[in-house]
Structures are given as structure tokens and as C-alpha cells.
Amino acid sequence: MHLRTLNRALVVTAGIAILGCGRGTQPANEATPAAGTSAPAAAPAAEPVTEYARPAKPSKQYRIGISIPHLANPHYVGQAYGYIDEAQQLGAQVTLLEAGGYEHLDKQISQVEDLIASKVDAIILAAISGPGTVAVVEQAAAAGIPVINVNVMTDSDKVVTRIRSDDDVIGRMQADFMGERLKNGGNVVMLRGAPGTSWAEIRGNAFRKQLADKYPSVKVLGEQYSQSTPADGLRLMEDFLQTYPQISGVYNGADSTAVGAAQAVKSAGKAGSIVMTATDFQIDTEKFIRDGVISASVLQQPVTMGRWGVRAAVSYLEKKSVPPVMFTGLMTATKDNLDKLDLTTVRAPAGWTPPVR
């Protein structure tokens, strides 16, 4: 399974490059080959890890700085819970900073610089932009502060480890679901998510590739990038419905856009006649799945991501070896299994709010 993933990752990267040239715009992650090949060690160490236990509680209280793009959806709130709770378990002190959105790259850079100036012991970074955060990661490395990428990757080999879902699998899972439902062919539109992020790229490209390979009768009519907000999803879906009267499926790289897109579909009276897939599991996504507007969502485990991030930081600081690539698990949610899902790794506990003062 892992080797196939590696292969696919390489192929996907090549695909990105070809697609990029074909569209006349520049691919965002050209500089980074797939996660697996960036590690300098021998092949076995490059295999992504899918389980990561909590290390022993260290004697020292480490200070960890964390920088994420925003806290505007349950995915990042869940991640934040993972960081905070795990830090508590491991006796570490955490500073959580968010940049206010994927548009605020320079704010994130400033925040990381401030963390470096505060001499934290380690930095966990969900990067707004792959190439854009290279400089600041190298600055941290030069100052002897290890950087751990969680969820969104930086295009630098100075990162100690990369923790995320296998975005490739997310894309393929949505493609499989869509392909099975639209057996007799169909027209699909894609709401890819935030431009320039590793997840938007990899997931979307994997989706396309899987469709092209296994379900050639399903065609992609159009795709758009946007910020991860319901308002953007609503707007894009309304435009799509106007432009392409015969849409049978909608792909969502992230779930905030799915919520907006679902709203648009419902308002247009097409709920149930369009297959919609999404990623992640906020409250409205769950509601729309129950109502049959969204057909299925691929759930990441952001809480797990958060936990592993802190574990990796502590392990590294305790001079233990840390696997360079880690994939947290995935689940599919459909109307049928909604009530049977274990959401402790997906969402923060009800009523919990992140302590960004």
C-alpha cells in the first residue's frame, strides 16, 4: 500500500507539472517532489508512518510555538485541540498563533519570526504557502529550532517531519465514490480550495487522475480555487450551476466550500440529483449529509494531526529519531454510517474553544 502511494505520488507530481504547463499557469509545488522523496535517508526510512504513539512525558517543560492559517473552521479547531491537549499530557507549554486566513502569508511569516525571536524550543507550522514559508523555516533551522509541518507543507528539506493526511488518498476516495455513483457517466465540477496549498493541489490532482484512470465516462467540466469559506463555496457553486446546466457531481477539496455549495444546490432544488463529495466534517457538513445534499465526506483526523505534531516535537527535542513522513488516518462518512462514527480524532470536544487570547 505504501509503495503504491509513493509511486502514485511521483506520478501525480509529474502530472502537476504537465497540467501546469498545459494551463499556462505555474504549478505551486514544482519545487517539492512528493513528501516521500525529500528525506535524505535510505528508502525504508522514507516510508510514511501511519501510527505514532505518545512518547514518555519528558522531565523538561518544552516551549512549542504553533502557527496555523486560521481557526475559522472545525478542522483547524480540532487540530488546535490536538495540540493543546497533547501538550498538556506531555507537560509542554504551547503558543498558538493564527494568521487570520490563507491570504495572510506575510502575517504568518511575521508570526513565525516572532516565535523564533521568542526562542521557542520547536515550531509546528501549517504553512499557508509551500514556497512562501521556505525562508522562515530556514531561519528557524539556522537558529537551531526544529520545524514540524502539519497538514500543509513547506517546500523545504529543512523540515524535520511532515504530518498530514495522505492527500492523494483523499482525492482518490472522492473519485471512487463519485465514479461508483455515476456509473453511466457524468459531469463533475471541482471546488479545489485555497490556492497554492499542498492539500488543494494533491487532493484535486489525485481526484482527476483517478477519474481519468478508472472512470473515463465521468468528465470534469470546470474547477475553481477559492478561500475555504462557505461564502466562497456558495458563490462558486451558483456560478457553476449557471454555467453548466448538466452538473451531476461536485468535488470539494475542503468542507467549508462544501457547506456553501450544498446551500446553493439546495436552493436550486437539485438536492439529491447531484452527487456531492467533500473533505472534513464540520457541523453543517454533517447536517447536509443527513439531509442527503452531500453524499459523502472523507474525514481527516485533525485532532490526531495535532497530537502527532506535539509528539514529534517532544521526541525530537528528547533526541529520539522522528519519522520524516506521517500520514494520519481517513474515514468516509455517508448517511448510513453517520451515527456509528468515532469522532474523537476528528473534532474537538463540544464547547471547547481555542485559547488564542
Q: Give the binding site for other proteins (CB under 8 A).
A: 23-31, 95, 97-100, 102-107, 109-111, 113-114, 116-119, 129-135, 139, 143, 155, 195-196, 225, 356-357
Task: Identify which of residues 27 and 233 has a Cβ nearer to other proteins in the complex.
Answer: 27
Distance CA 162, CA 210 (A): 24
Residue type, 233: G
The DSSP-derived string for 246-283 is ---EEEESSHHHHHHHHHHHHHTT-TTTSEEEEES--H
Closest CA to 62 of 96, 93, 95: 93
Task: Identify which of residues 78 and 196 has a Cβ nearer to other proteins in the complex.
Answer: 196
CA dist 4 → 7, 9, 254, 294 (Å)? 5, 8, 24, 30
Cell matching residue 191: 471546488
Task: Identify which of residues 177 and 225 has a Cβ nearer to other proteins in the complex.
Answer: 225
Task: Identify which of residues 232 and 280 has a Cβ nearer to other proteins in the complex.
Answer: 232
Q: Are 195 and 28 in contact (CB under 8 A)?
A: yes
Task: Identify which of residues 14 and 143 has a Cβ nearer to other proteins in the complex.
Answer: 143
Per residue in 40-73, is it b (16+ CB within 10 Å) or e — as a string?
Answer: eeeeeebbbbeebeeeeeeeeebbbbbbbbbbbb
Task: Identify which of residues 232 and 286 has a Cβ nearer to other proteins in the complex.
Answer: 232
Q: Are 182 and 215 in contact (CB under 8 A)?
A: yes
Give the nearest distance from C-beta 224 to other proteins in angstroms: 8
Give the nearest distance from C-beta 128 to other proteins in angstroms: 9
Give the nearest distance from C-beta 329 to other proteins in angstroms: 29
Q: What is the CA radius of gyration of the chain?
A: 20
